[in-house]
Amino acid sequence: MKGSRRVLLAGVSSLALALAAPAAMGADLSKPLPMKAPPPAPAVAPSPWTWWIEGGGQATIGDPYVPGLSPAFDARPAPWGWNVAGGFDYRFNGYWHVSGDFRFGASKHSLHSIQNGCIGSTSCNTLMTGSNSATRKEYNWVADFMVGRDVGLGLGNSQIKGGLRVAQIRGTTDGSISWVPTAAVTIGPSVYSQTNKFTGVGPRVALEGNMPIGGAWSIDYEVGFAGLYGWRSTNQTAFTPLDNSGSPCHSGCPINTSTSSNGFVANPDAMVGIAYAISPTTKVALNYRVDAYFNAFRAFGAGGLPPPTLGSPAVASPGSPTNVNRIYHGPSLRLTSQF
């Protein structure tokens, strides 16, 4: 009897489970299946390459003189010229970098003056004046090859760098003096050309970086110093024809002369600017840069001939050779991008 009851209960239970199973399956099928969240996209590593280009204006400080002329003639460079530059930075692990850059600037200036000449035998027998027209052209270039390391100064990115700098400065003055003839003496034009040149190479250290100031805006900065060992030279060629009596210009005319030296040149430079990020990988900045080369040019100073006077001995003195500075400064617009 007990066995029969057990068999009956087991049959009832099986029937109940069989009837409930379709309903349960229908309920499950009536609901949408749960969706799995997609896996997160892998983070895109920033490019190790950073490239930049810039261009702007360049002012020049520092003057050479043309020796032999009276009064002393200052061959000033143009107040403003132009410059362009470009460079790269490659980060080859978490904090070490290699970088390079090249900068080129140029200017051209037309100059005019009135000069005094002393014509005749061995003393100043005849005074003449002349209209001097000259053109001063200059260019300068610099290349840096550096290794840097992130140092984390301030709130933004910063990098201290060390490496090698090569620089050249070259200027040329070409002129012609048209002498005003007198009743007794006539003389053709005096022509001259002076070239000043400096080429140097040496070690350089620098600190560069940026500091966020809010939103997409930041301050960019750089300060550096190089010690360049180089060769400085000035060479001037001149020609003044004989007057109609067969005597040359004895005083107050350009002369043939040259001077040179070598040595170390101190070369500090600095830049500061305000930058705006136009995308996560690109920014544009307005900068102001100063690049100074102290005692880089071999030239002639303002000293030289006194104003010619009638009857005075003719003396051709070029003025004392000296080293003069070249300082370049000006604004520029820079575009920087990572790709």
| Tens digit of each residue's pLDDT (9 = 90 or more) over 259-272 | 999 999 999 999 99
Q: Which domains does the chain have, with CATH numbers?
A: 50-338 (2.40.128)
Q: How far is CA 201 from CA 145, 228, 231, 323, in A?
A: 11, 5, 10, 18
The whole-number pLDDT of residue 27 equals 43
In this prediction, what percent of the chain has a pLDDT beyond 90?
57
Mean pLDDT of 165-178: 96
Q: Tell me whether the omega of the peptide bond preceding residue 71 falls within 30 degrees of 0, making it cis.
A: yes
pLDDT at residue 29 greater than cutoff 50: no
- What pairing do the DSSP bridges indicate for beta strands 158-179 and 282-300? unpaired
d(CA 321, CA 70): 17
pTM assigned to the model: 0.80
Residue with tokens 């399956």: 25
| Average pLDDT of the chain, as a whole number | 84
Q: How confident is the model at residue 8 (pLDDT cuts 50, 70, 90)?
A: very low
Confidence of residue 302 (pLDDT cuts 50, 70, 90): confident
- Furthest C-alpha separation in the chain: 163
Q: Quick one: pLDDT at residue 314?
A: 55
Over residues 264-281, the mean pLDDT reads 96
Q: Looking at residues 83-107, what average pLDDT do you find?
A: 95
DSSP letters, 263-290, are: EEEEEEEEEEEEEEEEETTEEEEEEEEE
Tell me how crowded residue 321 is: count the other CB atoms within 10 A of its CB.
17
Distance CA 39, CA 119 (A): 95
Which residues lie below 8 Å from residue 257, measured CB to CB, with a gap of 6+?
67, 68, 236, 300, 318
**DSSP structural state of residue 94:** S
pLDDT at residue 73 above 60?
yes
Max mean pLDDT range (123-127, 146-150, 253-257):
146-150
Structure tokens at 157: 């990115």
- Spatial contact of 192 and 132, defined as CB atoms under 8 Å apart: no
The band of 47, judged by pLDDT with boundaries at 50, 70 and 90, is confident
What pLDDT is attached to residue 174? 97
Which has the minimum average pLDDT: 128-132, 184-188, 212-216, 282-286?
184-188
* Distance from C-alpha of 249 to C-alpha of 240, rounded to nearest angstrom: 7
* Cα separation, 166 vs 145, whole angstroms: 9
The conformational region for residue 19 under phi > 0 = left, psi -120 to 50 = alpha, else beta, is alpha
3-state DSSP call for residue 2?
Answer: helix
DSSP state at residue 311: T
Q: What is the pLDDT of residue 123?
A: 67
